[in-house]
Chains A and B, each alone.
Chain A
Amino acid sequence: MRIPNLATTIGAALAALVAAATPASADASKLTRHKVEFAVPPFVHAHEQVTSQPPRIIEFKMVIVEKEIVIDDDGTKFHAMTFHGSIPGPLMVVHEGDYVELTLVNPATNTMPHNIDFHAATGGLGGGELTMVNPGEQVVLRWKATRTGVFVYHCAPGSSMIPWHVVSGMNGAVMVLPRDGLKDEVGKPLRYDRIYYVGENDFYVPRDATGKFKSYPSVGESFSDMMDVMRKLIPSHVVFNGRVGSLTGDKAMTAKVGETVLIIHSQANRDTRPHLIGGHGDYVWETGKFANPPQKDLETWFIRGGSAGAALYTFRQPGLYAYVNHNLIEAVELGATAHFKVTGTWDDDLMTQVKPPLPIPDAKPEGAAPAPAKPVPIKQ
């Protein structure tokens, strides 16, 4: 079966869209505008949870950056494609009824055309049809946020470029909040003190004959080898925030006992199952859509590839936590581990070491005769 080439359908689609200008675009011109400056993941730009504003046009500007990065502690180099210089691209937060107006810039220093597909948007291949920009071009797209939730966005330039660009880092997420904020299943308000955005990326780095990861002089020269690895569906790295260990050490996420944290997790390509070691998901929108009541008290939640989810948790104990993709091979061997440092007072009622590790009492030495009727004192 021949898969239609997207590029050839874009021209026809564009013509159709321009001809059918909807009444909504006339209404939108009356709305106030609000410009947002991005934060760098895992941080999120300032926003209200309950909006005090009527529906507005929220303006964002994203610059596409192609750059070589290091993705692990061995110094493995990788030609990344990014929205706004980070993997994942920045989280965009709006409210239901707002319009997202994105200026997407593809600087002349880049080598490839790019576009953007917003899973939260409606029509036009998520906007992909209307945002194809060559190096040296920029485009402005506006879409109405009609559904609440967290949704992936990613580059989708056509055919094999689609998976290649996505796994090369060109993905991110949008959060469309209900105008009156998050709620549980009976409508009780749920509010967060902190928010983190964790974007998970699977990389497929080719290896040479000795098993070492290969680097390439340019992104184009890596394409063919990388497609061979991708087709086997086994990633070489599965990481948060663009590289192994990026959310650990001095970049570990932080919280205080008693604080409620919203953790948004996106995976534009591959299934994952986040788990907070030592904690839970008090309220989890596993599929990421706020019209559905959240699940409660989860140990691990499932983010299907091509989607984002959101988990709310109030920390109850201080100390170190790991936040992982709970395929533990991917967590430990491939890089899908982040850390939380949480300060506060330990609650002995929730957990206590009743006795520290000590030698087993009345233990018999190995190879001894069967136990006599009376315990024999053992010299330790």
Chain B
Amino acid sequence: MGFVLAAKLALGAALAATLFASGPEARFPEPELVSVPPGTITFRPAGEYLRAGIPVAPAPAMVRFERRLSIMKFPVSAAEYRVCVDAGACPRAAGTAAAPDHPAVDVSWRDAVAYAKFLSARTGRRYRLPSDAEWAYAAGSRFRDGALADLTETDRAARSIERYEKESLEERAEKATRPIGSFGANERGLVDVAGNVWEWTSTCFRRFTLDAAGAATGAPVENCGVRVLAGRHRAYVADFVRDARSGGCATGIPPANLGFRLVRERG
């Protein structure tokens, strides 16, 4: 802890020196943000829902956003992530393999949190990962609800085969990253949402047990060692995993790339 504090002080001193040298206008550049107006979303929340031990889709739930949501227009780029790495605040192994104008990928949840902390310190604003609900709200028409809702089989074995077959038909996102902007903007102005980079959220994996009527029996079991990844579909991946294609608790189609974008809180 003492070491981190010392490092922060050193960074602060370095930043102060920069300001002194180049004038008060030289502030750390803030990322471009999109302001999503207040409103509601009706969607199936993240998590695993077991009814008689069989995973089922949860009932749609409504989430209301009372205030506008400020979220990064673009995913964090490899160049931006590199600044954090060079400052010694983000792990070197992550996020810099792609070209500078590509999204930062091979980033774990922990790496993303480290970047959010760094950006907050540099800008004096509070940046953090979006929750799964916030991401879904901002993603708008590009948000795809869970595929479990489409399954018709009720028998466990038949259901797992049905799910397997449906997933087999889905087109796999290609691994190679593209320059930011390549996947276009959604109706909210967010760029590259649900492209070939899945984005970390702050939401922990939760397992709900449902009764025969579909109501939750008791509070869910939460595992914050596994976090929700948002993209073309949801994935649940261990927080230390950078490449989900061959690991990390993921079932179903693994995400092609792991990256992130941040929310900026008010004040």
Residue from the list A249, A317, A356 in contact with B157, Cβ < 8 A: A317
A332 to B157, CA, bound (A): 23
Complex interface: chain B residues within 8 A of A320 (CB): 157, 160-161, 164
Assembly CA distance A332 to B160 (angstroms) = 20
Q: How far is the CB of A351 from chain B (nearest CB, A)?
A: 11
Q: Which of B50, B52, B53, B167 has the most CB of A within 10 A?
A: B53
From residue 232 to 251 of chain B, which have CB atoms closer than 8 A to chain A? 245-247
CB 8 Å contact bits of B1-32 with A (1 = contact, 0 = none): 00000000000000000000000000000000
Given A317-B157, A356-B50, A341:B164 Cβ within 8 A = yes
Give residues 216-254 of A contacting B (CB, 8 Å).
248-250, 252
| Cβ-defined contact, A359 with B50, below 8 A | no
Selected interface stretch from B39-47, B62-70, B168-176: B168-176
- A249 and B156 contact, CB distance less than 8 A: no
B157 and A357 form a contact (CB under 8 A): no
What does DSSP make chain A's interface, helix, strand, loop or mixed? loop
Among residues of B, the one whose C-beta sits closest to the C-beta of A249 is B168
**B-side interface residues, number (CB < 8 Å):** 25
Does A22 count as interface, using CB distance less than 8 angstroms?
Answer: no
B148 to chain A, nearest CB (A): 16
With beta carbons under 8 angstroms apart, the residue of B156, B161, B209, B245 that contacts A358 is B209
**B53 to nearest A CB, angstroms?**
4
**Known: A319-B156, A332-B246, A346-B155. Is A356-B53 also a contact (CB below 8 A)?**
yes
Q: List which B140-169 residues lie within 8 A (CB) of chain A.
A: 155-158, 160-161, 164-165, 167-169
Residue of A whose beta carbon sits closest to that of B174: A75
Nearest Cβ distance between residue A329 and chain B, in whole angstroms? 10
- Which residue of B158, B209, B246 contacts A318 across the interface (Cβ within 8 Å)? B158
Complexed CA–CA distance, A342 and B155 (Å): 13
How many residues belonging to A are interface residues under a CB distance threshold of 8 Å? 25
Contact check, B156 vs A346: say whether CB atoms are below 8 A apart: yes
**Mask: chain A, 351-366; 1 = CB below 8 Å from B; 0 = not:** 0010011110000000
Minimum CB–CB distance for B243 against chain A, Å: 11
Tell me whether A343 and B161 are in contact (CB under 8 A).
Answer: yes
**For A249, what are the chain B residues with a Cβ–Cβ distance below 8 Å?**
167-168
Complex contacts, A248 vs chain B, CB 8 Å: 168
- Closest CB of chain A to B220's CB: distance in Å? 9
A74 CB contact (under 8 Å) in B157, B175, B209: B175
A317: nearest residue on chain B (CB-CB)? B157
B61 in the interface, Cβ–Cβ < 8 Å?
no
A137 at the interface (CB under 8 A from B): no
Contact of B53 among A250, A252, A339, A353 (CB under 8 A): A353
Chain A CB within 8 A of B218 CB: yes
In the complex, whether A349 has a CB less than 8 A from a CB of chain B is no
Q: Which residue of B lies closest to A257 (CB)?
A: B157
Residue of B157, B209, B218 near A319 (CB, 8 A) is B157
Contacts of B218 in A (CB 8 A): 359, 380
> Contact flags (1/0) for B218-230 with A, using CB distance below 8 Å?
1101000000000
Known: A341-B164, A356-B209. A346 touches B50 (CB 8 A): no
Binary per-residue interface labels of chain A (76-98) against chain B in the complex, 1 for a CB within 8 Å, 0 otherwise: 00000000000000000000000
- Chain B residues 107-165 with CB under 8 Å of chain A are 155-158, 160-161, 164-165
Which of A248, A343, A356: most chain B CB closer than 10 A?
A356
The contact string, 1 if C-beta is below 8 Å from chain B, for chain A 186-226, is 00000000000000000000000000000000000000000
How far does the alpha carbon of A346 sit from the alpha carbon of B54 in the complex, in Å?
Answer: 14
In the complex, what residues of B have CB within 8 A of residue A341's CB?
A: 161, 164-165
A319 to B164, CA, bound (A): 10
For A339, the chain B residues whose CB sits under 8 A away are 164
A319 touches B161 (CB 8 A): yes
Does B207 sit within 8 A of A, measured CB to CB?
Answer: yes
Cα A333 to Cα B243 in complex, Å, equals 12
- Cβ–Cβ contact A356 & B52, under 8 A: yes
Distance in angstroms between the alpha carbons of A319 and B155 in the assembled complex:
10
Q: What CA separation (Å) do A252 and B165 show in the bound complex?
A: 10
Separation of A317 and B172 alpha carbons in the complex (Å):
30
Contact A73 B52 (CB under 8 A): no
Q: Is the CB of A333 within 8 A of B221?
A: no
**A333: chain B residues within 8 A (beta carbon):** 246
Q: Taking beta carbons and an 8 Å cutoff, which residues of B are in contact with A?
A: 50, 52-53, 155-158, 160-161, 164-165, 167-169, 172, 174-175, 207, 209, 218-219, 221, 245-247
Given contacts A317-B157, A319-B157, 14 further A-B contacts (CB under 8 A): A73-B175, A74-B175, A75-B174, A319-B161, A320-B160, A332-B246, A333-B246, A339-B164, A343-B157, A343-B158, A356-B53, A357-B207, A358-B221, A380-B219
